Structure 1
């Protein structure tokens, strides 16, 4: 659902840019409360994983494909504020390095793909968690439903943005019907990927999943007529999966997905591209400012072999994203630590 330059006029693009900048500023402050020594490295990995999985377009209808948006996945794994930042980092890397998503439309894409998906999915997720049994399976179910709904929500958001600033004269009802219809199908793929990923992390390290915090209820003991919390049972060291191992497995998985599996992804246009072509809203599309980038189009310039070119571009993208994301989140984490006074520590 990467919006290219030319779909939305300059005034509305500027407004969404302001909205995106404001949301990122708020998210930077909020992420300081979400990130700790365990989740700061994970957040950079989540951004890299989202980048990798977004390269895996899956077929959803005749001649149409879809890919992960990632807002729900990021929000559940590392928190909603950090989730907005994760998806924003991915969109920035894609726009600058790979000419995917217009640079003047960056505010539109962040508003649509980072803010809307994260806010909607996490609100739905928290609502479901409150009413479902406090079990690991409930987290996975809530992740599935919240991710499923986040994608058509993004389609609705794009439709509203287009209604305000679309550069072509296409009836908004046609755009809405086409966008929402195809993105409901894409949402099924999004939900499946999100639920499987969240479930895999919960299975080995539930304490690393932001949305699973407080999942286990503390046992109560009656002491002297009063109920008190029982000590948390210690987990044998041998039964723990280290954070480093989780991080390493996640990074290797991301590299394999982007560097190898992506070659077999669907070549059909994604939901927005298909709708834009069918409905004619792509008539004023402009050439991307980074169209001459060495990595434009997810290939390495001057490498003729498509498999090697695409795989190498994917590996580079994962590497750059994990470095950029980790650097940002460590900086946010350090600012939180620096802001704690000695009296607060004591």
Structure 2
């Protein structure tokens, strides 16, 4: 597989960097488990399974984008929209671990960096933008579609830039033919295009779910909470039962 695909292979990063990111990913994974338990309910659990299966399928499709460079969809933004940032990060992490261990898609020694880039950085960047856009844009199907599209593009590019940072810190001679500037240009340009494709898929998917079952879209739950009815306020002081009395 091309070393510039977003799934990092064994030997692309040196040992200290790979180990450091493995520790970081493990700690973050544990934190997501703790926070994700608070969100899981009868609606979210089945959706999380479907999201993980969908991400697994689309990530297995690697395709050339530029000469000598391949890429694939990530799914972090879609996961954040449908099941939230914590469960979404867990879904992407589990997919990446299974791919590395069973399908050699991504190196085993690079599981930590891959989880950091695609599950943690990608999902966090997406949800941060989703949180802002859903409160700024009109609460319409168009606003939701724009949110899904923009968050997907930013998520994919953020994951790619996270890899560039890792390469700058501890890239090995496996990529010696690429200078840091070339790696940055290729990774950014490639994954902007991938992000556009992912954004279109995410927008259509989220719109479809929102039109039929808006309660299944995690990102809409807080926005669709009904406001309390405008009823007259209850009196704040107790009036005496009678104004008269014995003198």
TM-score under structure 2 normalisation? 0.85
Tell whether 2:103 aligns with 1:95.
Answer: no
Task: Say which of 202, 215, 234 aligns to 1:194.
Answer: 202
What RMSD in Å do the two structures reach over aligned CA positions? 1.8
Aligned length: 226
SS of equivalent to 1:133: coil
- How far apart are the structure 2 equivalents of 1:180 and 1:27? 28
Name the CA shift for 1:219/1:106 in 2 (closer, same or farther; >3 Å): closer
TM-score under structure 1 normalisation? 0.62
Alignment gaps of 5+ in structure 1: 227-346
Superimposed CA distance per residue, residues 63-113 of structure 1 (whole angstroms, 9 cap, x where no aligned partner)? 755321111111111010101100011011111111110001000100111
Alignment gaps of 5+ in structure 2: 1-5, 235-247
Task: Say which of 152, 155, 169 aligns to 1:150.
Answer: 155
Mapping for residues 1-346 of structure 1, pairs under 5 Å? 1-57=6-62, 60-61=65-66, 65-168=70-173, 169=176, 170-216=178-224, 218=226, 221-224=229-232
- How far apart are the structure 2 equivalents of 1:65 and 1:203? 34
Matched-pair contact (CA < 8 Å) for 1:117–1:150: yes
Q: Which has the larger radius of gyration?
A: 2
SS of equivalent to 1:124: helix
Matched-pair contact (CA < 8 Å) for 1:57–1:66: yes
Matched-pair contact (CA < 8 Å) for 1:139–1:212: no
Structure showing greater relative contact order (alpha-carbon pairs closer than 8 Å, 6 or more residues apart)? 1
